[in-house]
Amino acid sequence: MQTVLQSPGESRSTINDHLTKADKIRLLRDMYRIRRFEQTSLKYYNLGRMGGFLHLYSGQEAVAVGTISLLNENDHVITAYRDHGHALAAGMSMNECMAELFGKATGCSKGKGGSMHFFAPDKRYWGGHGIVGGQTPLGAGIAYALKYKRIPGCCLCYLGDGAINQGAFHEALNLAALFQLPVIYIIENNGYSMGTSQKRSSAYKGSLAERAEAYNMAWDVFLGEDLYEVRNRTNIAIERARKTQQPTLLEIQTYRYYGHSVADANAKKYRTSEEIEDYKSNHDPLQIFAKALLDEEVLTDADIQEIDKAAKEEANAAVAFAEESPLPQESDILADVYWEVDNQTDAAKNGSYFFNT
């Protein structure tokens, strides 16, 4: 593991020292909530209750929960299409997320976005973006606005290891470094860009994050299975962004248990079952953090089972909520296209906006 462009001692953060027992339980609970939300959504996807894609985050939970738990009211989040974990970690409810998957009017995006496009600007969560790497310039822009408004916050912008070869990402890195923007790009490296392994998709020396060297940007690479470590290392980048408006490129090594999406027909062909089982058995972020909390005597096995049970029940209740929720109306198809039209402003009084046949 390498860390560059840091002053001596900076690699040690004391951020975890401040966690209370309640904080730790909440962090574990948030990871369980993501795991059970997604497993439940998969069940109902397979029952035909939702359409499109379903990109599951299972195995990567410590990254979203660990990093987002470090944020305050000035900080922002934007991510790609594997966005359920970040959404829940950012404080979105299971109900609004599940209803969105079911295409219901009560969904976070009123059933207009779907799995890849969750949004909650009130929680400073800016999506949920479907095009690989397309969110990375937006992350720079959020950081640009923070700096412009002299708000001492930062933007966490997540992407997968497959996104690092998109041109937009390199343009965003250059702008972030050139303009000194408080954005932290977090490559969640799960080893595969869809069915193509890291070695078959990226040219690199030691790590993917090392590409930041070319932009004279701070970078770090570390394992994402231990929530404490994720918080520890990410907090250094967050403090750098808040205090000096400097960007960082983080590579957090992680693993996804399911295919690229549920529609990934070859999910079990490009990886061995042994590889998947090894991660589930030896590197599972929920198990690792649960064990840490047991060792610390923060909670007992029974407490963990209770947390898990509560997460399952919350997910099932979210399904019930989604099932009972109404579909969007056909008239809703033409709403939320233009702000001025939706708000019936004077600006919207002239001319036609829609050209239906």
Partner 1 sequence: MALITYREALRTALDEEILRDENVVVIGEEVAQYNGAYKVTEGLWAAHGDTRLVDTPISEAGFVGMGIGAAMLGLRPVIELMFWSFAYVAFDQIVNNAGCVRYMSGGLLNVPIVIRGPANGGTNVGATHSHTPENLLANMPGLKVVAPATAYDAKGLLKTSIRDNDPVMFMENTLLYGEKWDVPDTEYLIPLGQADIKRAGSDVSLIAHGRAVITCLKAAELLVAEHDIDAEVVDLRSIRPLDEETVLNSVRKTHRAVVVEEGKPFCGIGAQMASMIQEKAFDDLDAPIGRVASLDAPAIYSPPLEKRQLPDPQRVIEKVLRLS
List contacts with partner 1 (CB under 8 A): 76, 78, 107-113, 117, 119-122, 126-131, 134-146, 148-149, 167-168, 171-172, 174-175, 178, 335-340, 342-343, 345-355
Residues in CB range of 322: below 8 A, 6 or more apart: 95, 98, 99, 101, 102, 104, 106, 107
Closest approach, Cβ 140 to partner 1, in A, equals 5
Closest approach, Cβ 82 to partner 1, in A, equals 16
Closest approach, Cβ 227 to partner 1, in A, equals 28
Beta strands 192-193; 218-223: pairing state: unpaired
Preceding omega of 351 cis (within 30 degrees of 0):
no
Closest approach, Cβ 242 to partner 1, in A, equals 16
Preceding omega of 128 cis (within 30 degrees of 0):
yes
Of 203, 240, 263, 236, the C-alpha closest to 46 is: 263
- Cβ proximity to partner 1, 141 vs 162, nearer residue: 141
Q: Indicate the Cα dihedral angle 173, 57, 255, 45, nearest 10°.
A: -130
- Cβ proximity to partner 1, 77 vs 293, nearer residue: 77
- Cβ proximity to partner 1, 107 vs 224, nearer residue: 107
Tokens of 242: 């808040």
- Cβ proximity to partner 1, 59 vs 153, nearer residue: 153
Alpha-carbon gap, residue 83 to 64, rounded angstroms: 9
- Cβ proximity to partner 1, 20 vs 331, nearer residue: 331
- Cβ proximity to partner 1, 119 vs 158, nearer residue: 119
- Cβ atoms of 97 and 37 within 8 Å: the answer is yes
In which element (H, E) is residue 210 found? none
- Cβ proximity to partner 1, 203 vs 354, nearer residue: 354
Closest approach, Cβ 64 to partner 1, in A, equals 19
Tokens of 29: 């609970």
Closest approach, Cβ 206 to partner 1, in A, equals 26
Closest approach, Cβ 357 to partner 1, in A, equals 8
Residue 138: Cβ within 10 Å count: 18
Q: Radius of gyration (Cα) for the chain, nearest Å?
A: 21
